[in-house]
Chain A
Amino acid sequence: MSFDLPHEARKTAGTEIEPGRAYGFFTDTSVCIGCKACEVACKEWNQLPAEEDGLSGLSYDNTVDLSATTWRHVAFIEQMDHRPDGETPEFQSRWLMSSDVCKHCDPAPCLEACPTGAIFRTEFDTVVVQQDICNGCGYCVPACPFGVVDLDDVDGKAHKCTMCYDRLKGGMAPACSKVCPTDSIQFGPLDELIPRAEDRVAELHERGTTDAYLYGAPGHPGATGGIEKLNAFFLLLDRPEVYNFPAAPTRPANRIAPALGTGLAAFAGLALVAATLLGPRR
């Protein structure tokens, strides 16, 4: 018998989890306190091994980046000079903290690149790697515009955030969003999350935090170049690059036609030349 609530997410995330609806994360970095509870909860639930145990020297960030065995990563950005107008009191830095994660892009470059079908789109509109199919070709790795998915040296397969596919199937919100003490990580259906995020930006602007903007929601920076939306989208307070995000990512598959088309055209042109040169000479 199970001690789990049948629809736990109703209580923890205020939402039903039903197949056929698009779910995502809204990571509101303006309230992140850098506690790294999300990193720990992710490691525990997904049974991911620890990595480096040293100190990176990069502020309080000793995780440094996402990897095959790290699916949430809290970035720490200390800014001493963020207000060139001199309004910042001396010695008072600004802290930007942001919990990074796989963006579950739509369309997802890693999925579009995967030749085995190991990467698929789930009934919750999330992107998952099936470990029993991946053969470690590694093509998803350079395909990802955000440097997320990676091969693991131990098992030779690609790994990344599953948005807790197993938990979603059981009616539970993903582990990171459930533990986040400030609601910086919010999980829910996109048709509720996106308006909520828009309202949050408006509220921050009203309060004078006019730096706030959405990254990855449809029509916003991050959802560019053929990538329609990032199901895991963010509220950011500085340029995307500051958080290690590209300002205008593009869908790699859009480059197949120009590369292959020009290649074949050049080949055909030289074939014509060859047909002339290889013929009998007078």
Chain B
Amino acid sequence: MTVPSLLPKYPRRRHGPQGRLDLSDAWHGQSYYGQPALKNPQWDWKVSGYIAVAGAAGAAQALSFLGSLRDREVFRGARRNANLIGLAGAAAGSALLIADLKTPKRFYNMLRILRPTSPMSLGTYILGAFGVTTAVSALGDLAPMRRRPALRRVADVAQAGAALSGAGAATYTAALMSATSNPYWAAAPRGLGAQFATSAVAAGAAALALGERAGGRSGSARRLEDVAACAAASHVVASLAASAGRRASGVGPGPGEGGQPSGSTKAVVMGALPLAAYAMGRASRSPPLAVSASLALIAGSFLLRHHMLEQGKRAARRPATGFRFAQPHNLPRRRRLDRSG
């Protein structure tokens, strides 16, 4: 089929006395009776909960794999816990995702195809791979298995797989939200990727650290808390960058749309508070402080995902936000050159 490639034959209209439209003109806030121009998914806490669970579980597997590589003995307990967290995460995550479908009995239709343009399709296979490798890796923790070196090696390989797919499970959800037409999710794809990755690592490390504290293994706990603190610090940076990216695309709160603490304020509170608690826990050698910091990081990772979901839904209900984002000056540069050439 050939559609003739037709560049506009007519000169782009200037803003004359009669000509009202010139897309290079600024948009002056017009809308259709203030009606939303976009529709929202019927996603709720189950989806944001899944994103947080997949992030923490995926990162916990990756971190315990790294820990085992560096210091197998010290991280034996953490590795067992990571396998359990991974199993629970994969099971709970799948359950949440299926429960969120509006026709759940057809969940297996997700496996009909693999569509590279759909993060939801990619994620189905990433989560599947994570579940399978985690299960095999967890088998290696069973007492009868541990006595056979060959099986132990299989479990090690499986955990490497769980670490890799865990990295995917922790980050593909940023693509899932960015690859929509929702202005809040779409405006800063890179920032959102960094936000989800750093928050996942912080929550995964915090979860493992809690396990180590509970098991009385304070050496490995302290190392994991250091990782969590680093991740929380990078999360603050990522959140500030993402907020700046959104503002640059016109997706900050506009006039008359305020009343909400800005994303960056929340990010600082969510990341900086636990950071301070870790530092104080460090200085005063107080495990309870470190434990509460870990708990705060995990809670923060859930709040972050839910905040993202709700802010996006709110943004889509305001036509102004979507229209400000969908302006020619926000188009990727290459495309713009194409069009004017």
Contact = CB atoms under 8 A, between A and B. Distances in A.
A14 B172 CA distance: 48
A102 B37 CA distance: 13
A163 interface: no
A48 interface: no
Interface in B162-210: 167-168, 170-172, 174-182, 185-186, 189-194, 196-198, 200-201, 205
B326 to A, nearest CB: 3
A249 B41 contact: no
Contacts of B262: none
Contact of A150 (B1, B39, B316, B339): B39
Interface size class of B (residues with CB under 8 A): 35 or more
B74 to A, nearest CB: 7
B102 A136 contact: yes
Interface stretch (B23-31, B82-90, B141-149, B295-303): B23-31
Nearest to B2: A191
Nearest to A124: B1
Interface string B79-110: 00000000000000000000011111011011
Nearest to B219: A281
B4 A267 contact: no
Interface string B226-248: 11001100100010000000000
Contacts of B171: 260, 263-264, 266-267
A142 B180 contact: yes
Given A239-B20, A280-B70, A157 B4 contact: no
A241 B323 CA distance: 7
A138 B332 contact: no
A181 interface: no
Interface size class of A (residues with CB under 8 A): 35 or more
Contacts, number: 349
A78 B43 CA distance: 35
Interface stretch (B60-68, B129-137, B263-271, B285-293): B60-68
Given A118-B109, A256-B175, A266-B198, A125 B167 contact: no
B26 to A, nearest CB: 11
Contact of B120 (A139, A205, A210): A139
B118 A157 contact: no
Of the candidates A22, A116, A214, A229, the one having the most CB atoms from chain B within 10 angstroms of its own CB is A116
A225 B106 contact: no
Contacts of B8: 213-214, 219-220
Contacts of A229: 3
Interface string A48-86: 000000000011010011000000000101000011010
Of the candidates B103, B201, B234, B339, the one having the most CB atoms from chain A within 10 angstroms of its own CB is B103
Contact of A248 (B10, B36, B198, B331): B331
B310 to A, nearest CB: 13
B260 interface: no
Contacts of B2: 191
A262 B193 contact: yes
Nearest to A270: B201
Interface string B314-336: 00100100110011101110010
A109 B181 contact: yes
A244 B31 CA distance: 6
A250 B27 CA distance: 17
Contact of A113 (B18, B102, B179, B328): B179
B328 to A, nearest CB: 5
Interface stretch (A2-10, A38-46, A165-173, A195-203): A195-203
B276 interface: no
Interface string A86-122: 0100000000000000000001010011111110000
Given A115-B124, A205-B10, A263-B170, 16 more contacts: A82-B20, A136-B106, A139-B176, A211-B18, A211-B19, A224-B328, A248-B331, A255-B186, A258-B189, A259-B189, A260-B175, A263-B175, A274-B205, A278-B66, A278-B67, A280-B74
20 contacts: A22-B3, A83-B18, A113-B117, A113-B179, A114-B115, A117-B109, A135-B103, A139-B41, A148-B39, A157-B103, A191-B2, A249-B181, A261-B193, A263-B192, A264-B197, A266-B238, A270-B231, A278-B70, A278-B223, A278-B224
Ranked 5 nearest A-B pairs via Cβ: A136-B102, A263-B171, A263-B193, A156-B102, A246-B326
